[in-house]
């Protein structure tokens, strides 16, 4: 998933177009794999979806579409480091929400690790010389964090009984329709971009989306949403490294220090926090 910011920067297209095509590609891959699996096993996994599940699937699709729209737009205004850091500040939100919704305990080491990670994120963001546009980008990235928290909470609820292929297929498809509808309403053209741009969007849909996000959703059936979100806090470190190599966005001392703190927070929370397995 850490490669997403790099591919987005390389794709020369409006954020809505990048988000729409990314979701369409991810949905197509998931639907193809799901249909093949259903055909081989002769099982209709859609039968496991209940009427109570449908509103949650819709909420998940809305949150996912809003997450990508806000976050991809933020990359037009602020650096990769600040944007990716702020969009991965969801563990604290998830810890509180999971406590209320799923009665999941908030262990001391989870709080400590999350706190260390957020401090590290703050160090990176502060070190990124801000301006008016950077502040707007940071705000959009934070909106992306709120949206992805809702997406993970919905996934945590559904993945307890809905297979990952079914969940991915439904949510990705729903998010695709939402993004395409917004794109049409705002009269943004779907065509007229360079072949290179379409190539980067294709890679974006296949690697960070079809592989990266789908693995996250699979994980939600085995570990808590907070644990998944904490692990994703490694994304700023890896994304910043990729930006330095391919986009010449050289990380500052504060970025390096913040990255070290984020990795330390992840280690503390997952190694000692007892949040790894559901029911623990």
pLDDT mean by block of 10 residues, the chain; 280 residues: 86 93 94 84 72 90 92 82 72 67 69 80 68 74 85 81 85 95 94 95 94 84 74 75 77 76 76 48
R_g over Cα of the chain: 18
Name residues whose C-beta falls within 8 Å of residue 203's C-beta, 6 or more positions apart in sequence. Answer: 7
Query: In whole angstroms, what is the distance from residue 116 CA to residue 260 CA?
Result: 10
For the stretch 98-114, pLDDT in tens is 666 656 666 777 778 77
Q: Which of 224, 237, 226 is nearest to 264 (CA)?
A: 237
What is the reported pLDDT for 45? 66
Tell me if 78 sits within 8 A of 137, measured CB to CB.
Answer: yes
What is the reported pLDDT for 248? 76
What is the reported pLDDT for 275? 44
DSSP for 201-248, written as a single string: HHHHIIIIIIIIIHHHHHHTTTS-HHHHHHHHTTHHHHHHHHHHHHS-
Name residues whose C-beta falls within 8 Å of residue 51's C-beta, 6 or more positions apart in sequence. Answer: none
HSE-CB for 74 with a 13 A CA cutoff: 27
Q: Which alpha helices (H) appear in the chain, and where do they start and end?
A: 4-10, 15-41, 53-74, 80-87, 91-102, 108-127, 132-158, 164-185, 195-204, 214-219, 225-232, 235-246, 253-272
Tell me if 196 sits within 8 A of 239, measured CB to CB.
Answer: no
Name residues whose C-beta falls within 8 Å of residue 196's C-beta, 6 or more positions apart in sequence. Answer: 10, 12
Query: In whole angstroms, what is the distance from residue 258 CA to residue 189 CA?
Result: 39
């Amino acid at each position: 998933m850490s490669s997403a910011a790099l591919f987005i920067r390389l794709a020369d297209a409006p954020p809505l177009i990048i988000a729409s095509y990314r979701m369409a590609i991810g949905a197509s891959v998931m639907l193809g794999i799901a249909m093949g699996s259903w055909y081989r096993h002769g099982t209709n996994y859609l039968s496991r979806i209940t009427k109570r599940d449908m509103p949650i699937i819709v909420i998940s699709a809305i949150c996912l579409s809003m997450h990508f729209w806000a976050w991809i737009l933020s990359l037009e205004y602020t650096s990769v480091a600040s944007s990716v850091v702020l969009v991965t500040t969801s563990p604290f939100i998830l810890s509180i929400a999971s406590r209320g919704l799923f009665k999941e305990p908030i262990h001391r080491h989870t709080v400590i690790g999350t706190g260390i990670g957020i401090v590290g994120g703050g160090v990176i963001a502060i070190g990124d010389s801000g301006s008016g546009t950077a502040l707007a980008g940071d705000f959009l990235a934070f909106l992306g964090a709120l949206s992805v928290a809702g997406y993970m909470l919905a996934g945590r609820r559904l993945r307890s009984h809905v297979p990952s292929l079914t969940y991915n297929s439904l949510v990705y498809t729903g998010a695709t329709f939402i993004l395409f509808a917004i794109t049409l309403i705002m009269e943004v053209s779907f065509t007229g971009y360079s072949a290179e741009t379409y190539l980067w969007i294709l890679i974006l849909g296949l690697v960070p989306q079809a592989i990266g996000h789908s693995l996250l959703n699979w994980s939600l059936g085995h570990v808590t949403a907070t644990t998944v979100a904490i692990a994703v806090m490694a994304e700023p470190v890896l994304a910043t490294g990729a930006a330095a190599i391919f986009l010449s966005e050289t990380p500052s001392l504060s970025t390096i220090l913040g990255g070290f703190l984020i990795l330390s927070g992840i280690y503390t929370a997952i190694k000692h926090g007892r949040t790894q397995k559901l029911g623990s």
